[in-house]
Chain A
Amino acid sequence: MARLDIIHLTKQFGNVLAVNDAGFTVQDSEFMCILGPSGCGKSTLLRMIAGFEAPTSGDMQIDGESVTALPPNKRPTAMVFQKYTLWPHMTVYENIAFGLGLRGLSRAVIDQKVHDSLALVSLSGYETRYPAQLSGGQQQRVALARAIVLEPKILLLDEPFSSLDAILRVRLREELKRIQRRLKITAIFVTHDQEEALSLADRIAVMSGGQIEQIDHPSTIYANPQTLFVADFIGAMNLLKASAQDGVLRLGGKQLTAPNGIQSSDKITIALRPEDLMIVPDGTPDAWKAQVDQVMDLGHYRKILVDVPDVGELKVYVTKSMTVNEGDRVSLLPIRYLIYQNDAAPIEVNRPAAALT
């Protein structure tokens, strides 16, 4: 319903930079997730957008108009909070109607809107209940209804599902996605749960230490993490210290083909996804010898920990069709990896599929 521009937004608490020069645009009807570990500044960023924190500098614009100077009650945003923030002394109906009443709508219109919004979150018939009579999941759905009933230009969600159990979290996540698609509402969702972000977002902004590290589509974030932090934070990753000399990449006693453009340095990190390490027949050229230390069955696949001499312990995902036992000796071949040097964007190396056979 609206576009949000964040322009050079900075928030300083004392001498701590909670948000450092954030700048991005959330498009109309886009679902944006802000993902990061606790204390990374993601909640502060969201609270600035809602108006609960005043930025130290920078601007926020909704549909091209600055809202930075507006108090929260005058902003066209609505927020769903982390804890269940339903007012305990009001019924479900009163909770949802509260904001509507402030807008001077007629009784009939309010009735209709409350009714519709409850239907949207599948809670029709719960109007007269008090929050204490609802489960956690139901309370959070009412909180969602209370926010969207006001038809905000931007819907803000601050880890809304973090206090729910795992199964409920997944179900509500799907429901939220469905509602957002249906209403075509612009949404910003803050979370520290990458699975949540990957499954919900059109785009993800990864934050760390007050800094936005990368903004991209979920698949791009996963496949091409632009910084070492993102590489480490999103998904499972093997990070290996390496050095480069005369076009040869060395890690431990091993060598890897170095792509063009790599400079001689001993401060290189290689990022290797567990699914990009393949178990190959013994004798395959360039393969690493390794010993299986531990096998963990994770349902539809297995995670194994292997010890590669001179390199260290690596995580590897293998399909269930492959028999691997603890103590086995195997040969491993890295088929895709990213090379991080200095602070530059990583260089991707793909081993041609032909080399495997």
Chain B
Amino acid sequence: MTSAQPPVSNDFWRTTRRSFTAMIRRDGFGLLALVVLALVILGPLYSVVLWAFAERWRYPSLIPTEFGFKFWEQTFSRADIAAALPFSIVLSLVVTALSALICLPASYAFARMRFRGRQALLLSFLATNAFPRFGLYISIAVIFFRLNLIGTVPGVIMIQLVNTLLLMIWIPTAAFQGIDRSLEEAALDVGASPLRVFIQITLPMVMPALSAALLLTFVNTFYEAQGALLIGLPRIVTMPVLMYSLINSQLVTQYGAIVSFVLWLPSLLLLLVAQKLLRGGYLTAGFGV
């Protein structure tokens, strides 16, 4: 990738549709990028997926020496994993629900109401991104330490909530702002009450954005490891936190691989709707872009 020419050639601008062979001939950069990216991006994951289904894998074989599910049983019969997985799921659901409860009414106000300082207050949520994350966690941890919130569920919930604010405010705010007001006026005009307009007209139209915000928040929270590690240990162990110890102790390679594989499933959910998220501009909205 690094050796690539700046790929600004006539071809990108002048030609629209190309035959496949002509494309390969002309789209040299694309092909190069494709091959390199495939190796770099998919290579590491290749090892994880195969390790998850390997009974035995001796060096220097490219694929496992023996495939099998033996370690799956072992993995999920481990007490720590059996406890952490449901806990992680419930925790993420709770955090997502709380975040929605706190943020959605606010995002409606930001989008629709006129009040002094609206723009500045909305922008202030960028602060969640403007600190070096781990430094901020340390500051919070010091306070939680004195409040005895270290190693408690409320402590973990709070630190994870901080991470969800920007996304849960900015995406819905943009969605509410994006709705043409005359669509609501038209409903008022045919006799619907303001509440009915909100429920039957406004809400269905912001639903794609709201579900994107909820989904992204859930997945982000599910994978959040640093805050949970710092605030949660030793009593609260989420799946990602457990991964740290699985990696560090390196008992059985397969444990880590299987947990990684299982942990990765919610992300697959996101991957499936990635095109939609991308088109709606939701992926970048979480960064305040």
Residue A85, interface by CB 8 Å: yes
Task: Give CA–CA (A143, B186) in the complex, Å.
Answer: 9
Contacts A88-B205, A89-B205, A102-B196; A83 near B180 (Cβ below 8 A): yes
Contacts A72-B185, A79-B186; A85 near B180 (Cβ below 8 A): yes
Chain B 168-200, CB within 8 Å of chain A: the 1/0 string?
000000000000101101111111111010001
Q: Is the CB of B204 within 8 A of A73?
A: no
By secondary structure, the B interface counts as helix
List the B side residues contacting A103 at CB < 8 Å: 191
- Some 25 contacts from A to B, beta carbons below 8 A apart, are A50-B185, A50-B189, A51-B188, A52-B185, A73-B189, A73-B190, A73-B193, A73-B194, A74-B191, A79-B186, A79-B189, A81-B182, A81-B185, A81-B186, A82-B182, A87-B183, A87-B187, A87-B201, A89-B204, A89-B205, A98-B190, A99-B191, A102-B196, A146-B190, A147-B189
Counting chain B CB atoms within 10 Å of each CB, the highest count among A50, A51, A83, A85 belongs to A85
Chain A residue at minimal CB-CB distance from B183: A85
Write the nearest CB–CB distance from A242 to chain B, whole angstroms: 47
List the A side residues contacting B186 at CB < 8 Å: 79, 81, 85, 87, 143, 146
Task: Give CA–CA (A341, B190) in the complex, Å.
Answer: 48
Interface residues in A, total, Cβ within 8 A:
25
Task: Give CA–CA (A74, B197) in the complex, Å.
Answer: 14
List the B side residues contacting A78 at CB < 8 Å: 189-190
Residue A10, interface by CB 8 Å: no
In the A-B complex, the 10 residue pairs with the smallest Cβ-Cβ separation, listed nearest first, are A99-B190, A85-B186, A89-B204, A72-B188, A81-B182, A85-B182, A79-B189, A102-B191, A73-B188, A73-B191
Q: Is the CB of B180 within 8 A of A73?
A: no
Residue A259, interface by CB 8 Å: no
Task: Give CA–CA (A212, B182) in the complex, Å.
Answer: 26
Task: Give CA–CA (A72, B183) in the complex, Å.
Answer: 14
What residues make up the interface of A, taking CB atoms closer than 8 Å to B? 50-52, 71-74, 77-79, 81-83, 85, 87-89, 98-99, 102-103, 143, 146-147, 150
Write the nearest CB–CB distance from B197 to chain A, whole angstroms: 8
Tally inter-chain residue pairs, CB-CB below 8 A: 64
Task: Give CA–CA (A98, B183) in the complex, Å.
Answer: 13
Q: Is the CB of B188 within 8 A of A71?
A: yes
List the B side residues contacting A72 at CB < 8 Å: 185, 188-189
Task: Give CA–CA (A79, B181) in the complex, Å.
Answer: 14
Counting chain A CB atoms within 10 Å of each CB, the highest count among B185, B194, B204 belongs to B185
Task: Give CA–CA (A143, B189) in the complex, Å.
Answer: 12
Contacts A73-B192, A98-B192, A102-B192; A83 near B187 (Cβ below 8 A): no
Task: Give CA–CA (A89, B185) in the complex, Å.
Answer: 16
Task: Give CA–CA (A267, B145) in the complex, Å.
Answer: 85
Chain B 200-211, CB within 8 Å of chain A: the 1/0 string?
110011000000
Task: Give CA–CA (A136, B191) in the complex, Å.
Answer: 25
Tell me the B52-93 residues at the A interface (CB within 8 Å). none
Chain B residue at minimal CB-CB distance from A79: B189
List the A side residues contacting B200 at CB < 8 Å: 98
List the A side residues contacting B191 at CB < 8 Å: 73-74, 99, 102-103, 150
Task: Give CA–CA (A72, B193) in the complex, Å.
Answer: 9
Task: Give CA–CA (A103, B191) in the complex, Å.
Answer: 8
List the A side residues contacting B189 at CB < 8 Å: 50-51, 72-73, 77-79, 147
Task: Give CA–CA (A280, B196) in the complex, Å.
Answer: 69
Task: Give CA–CA (A103, B192) in the complex, Å.
Answer: 9
Write the nearest CB–CB distance from B104 to chain A, whole angstroms: 19
List the A side residues contacting B187 at CB < 8 Å: 87, 98
Task: Give CA–CA (A87, B188) in the complex, Å.
Answer: 12
Task: Give CA–CA (A78, B201) in the complex, Å.
Answer: 17
Chain A residue at minimal CB-CB distance from B179: A88
Task: Give CA–CA (A99, B200) in the complex, Å.
Answer: 12
List the B side residues contacting A83 at CB < 8 Å: 180, 182
Contacts A52-B185, A89-B205, A102-B196; A150 near B190 (Cβ below 8 A): yes
Task: Give CA–CA (A40, B113) in the complex, Å.
Answer: 27
